[in-house]
Amino acid sequence: MNNEVLDGEREFFVTGVRTYLEADDAMTEFRRLVQHKCRTVASRRLDELNQACGMHWTVKELDDYFEKNDKNHYLGKRIEAKGFGGVYFCLRLSREDASRPFDAFVYLYRIRKDLANGLWDRPGAIAPVTYKSGHSLGFGRPLPEDKIPDFEDYLDQAVTLLLAFINESGGLQKYLAQNVKLGTDAIK
């Protein structure tokens, strides 16, 4: 290795040692701040979500949520629907899509792929699904660079998309099997 590389490595290492904990604390605080914003939005729309999903969720049931994979990081809040899955409210940061690096993102999650199949099969006329996998139905609003301070408004719009999709589909309860009683019994 030449001296320039060694110097660069040395400087990076020294800065890292000096900065690492402070950076880690800043990241922790950032995650908390995002989660707080997601909680604010989710709390505001909880009555409508309860109506659409046939639930009796309260703000107290919103849990922190943080997940990452090679492509995306998700920071936010989630609320559990026992026996089914839950609803997630988050900021999605993407490494994969340079044209869409930030999203205000809401998704419906099912623990098993044989739950609410009818809902997963719907295309969504008013509110098209922006992300679909075996377990998740996602509704995202791309967050432009200059609109990052308005994240809560964008997340609110993503919730509106989710609600429109569920409502135009006739409500969540309609798609659940007889043995799933949301909020009380786990599926056997």
Partner 1 sequence: MKVSPSYARLTEAFLAWSELHVSAPPKPRSWDSVQLLVGSAKVLDNYALEHLEKALADSNAELAPLGEPLKLNLGKHRWLSADREESYSDWLAWILQGMSGAAEILPLYALSDEVTGELLGPAGTVRREVRSQHGRTDIEVPIGKQGLLLIEVKVRNTGSELPSQLDRYAHKVADQHVERPLLVLLGTEAPEPNLDLFGFTFTSWEALCQRLRQYAHRVKESELLRAAAILIFCGAVEQNLLGFSGSPRRFRAMATVNYLHDWRCEV
145 binds partner 1 (CB under 8 A): no
Q: Which amino acid is at 165?
A: F
- Residues 36-75, mask of contacts with partner 1 (x by CB under 8 A): x-------------------x-xxxx-xxxxx--xx----
Among residues 48, 54, 93, 109, the one that binds partner 1 under rule CB under 8 A: 109
Among residues 6, 7, 25, 168, the one that binds partner 1 under rule CB under 8 A: 25
Dihedral angle, C-alpha 66, 70, 72, 74, nearest 10 °:
0
**Residue among 8 and 170 whose Cβ is closer to partner 1:** 8
Q: Are strands 63-68 and 72-81 parallel, antiparallel or unpaired?
A: antiparallel
For residue 71, with 0-12 CB atoms within 10 Å meaning exposed, 13-18 middle and 19 or more buried, which class applies?
Answer: exposed
- Extract the runs of DSSP E, i.e. beta strands, from the chain: 63-68, 72-81, 85-94, 102-110, 131-132, 136-142
Which residues form the interface with partner 1 (CB under 8 A)?
Answer: 8, 12, 15-16, 19, 22-23, 25-30, 32-33, 36, 56, 58-61, 63-67, 70-71, 78, 80, 82, 86, 88, 95-96, 109, 135, 183-184, 186
